Amino acid sequence: MIEHDEPRSPQADSQTTPSKTDETVEEGGKGRARGAFAEYRETLQTIVIAVLIALGIRTFAFEPFNIPSGSMIPTLLVGDYLFVSKFSYGYTRYSFPFSPPLFEGRLFGGLPERGDVAVFRKPGEEDTDYIKRIVGLPGDRIQMIRGVLHINGEPVKREKLREGNGGASFTEYAETLPNGRTHLIRERSDSEVTDNTSEYQVPEGHVFAMGDNRDNSQDSRALYDVGYVPVENLIGRAEILFFSHDGTARFWEVWRWPFAVRFGRIFDGIE
């Protein structure tokens, strides 16, 4: 006896045999998912690479800082933003974010020059950044006599430029250090507490830092507070201003921004 196949209805065929349309939709969905994942992965990789590049530049090349106080007037004003070169004095633990204790001392280091405007970690409060001018190197003898800076027993030349009254009377001078570098300083008078001091002997491995606003600066003259700055605490040398504002416009006062920006200071070098 020959057996005959039972006839199948079109409905039964449609239930047991997947259509090409269903397969295409399924494969298309998987393809879109894979494409979205690949796009997400590429975006994440781009962000990670950008962050690593930014951290590398900040750690080894340049780091931005802003000026919150007037201790460096007239050279730097409150509201100035500047770049500090990290490679100028080499690298220490303080060159890295969060100051990890990876090593001691300074790698590829060199001493600053007299007259450099430097950012450093405040001795004893290493989570605080200070910016001052380096006027004394290891072994130097520093003293203030009637407002005049003396280095190794010799008075530093200063030339009176102008008098002013910015809320309090002051006099500005051009001060020329022994290496020939000239910068501006500001004095209220020559009879303030820090205008007449005993002689300081800068220890080895340290520098002596002072603010250009001589009567309004807490610096190395205050041995009980800042004192001598360990070379290890140096972060870098201030190089150039990239932005400056006078603080008269709040963040949300967009219409006042153009009048608050000190356009004349942008991209100025720091002497």
Domain ranges in the chain are 10-56, 64-265
> In sequence order, what DSSP letters do the residues of 97-164 get, joined into one string?
TT---S-SS-BS--PPPTT-EEEEEETTEEEEEEEEEEEE-TT-EEEEETTEEEETTEEPEEEEEEEE
Average per-residue pLDDT for the chain: 87
* pLDDT tens, residue by residue, 199-252: 999 999 999 999 999 999 999 999 999 999 999 999 999 999 999 999 999 888
One-letter identity of residue 268: D
Residue 49 burial (CB < 10 Å; 0-12/13-18/19+)? exposed
The two structure tokens encoding residue 266:
């942008």
* Architecture per CATH, 64-265: Ribbon (2.10)
Active site residue 169: no
Say which range, 11-20, 27-36, 92-101, has the weakest mean pLDDT: 11-20
Cα-Cα-Cα-Cα dihedral sign, residues 68, 70, 76, 80: positive
Active site residue 20: no
Residue 5: pLDDT band by 50, 70, 90 thresholds?
very low
Is the pLDDT assigned to residue 178 strictly greater than 80?
yes
Please report the pLDDT score of residue 24 as a whole number.
Answer: 53
- Which of 42, 39, 43 minimizes the C-alpha distance to 31? 39
Please tell me which residue in 86, 88, 95, 132 is annotated as part of the active site. 132
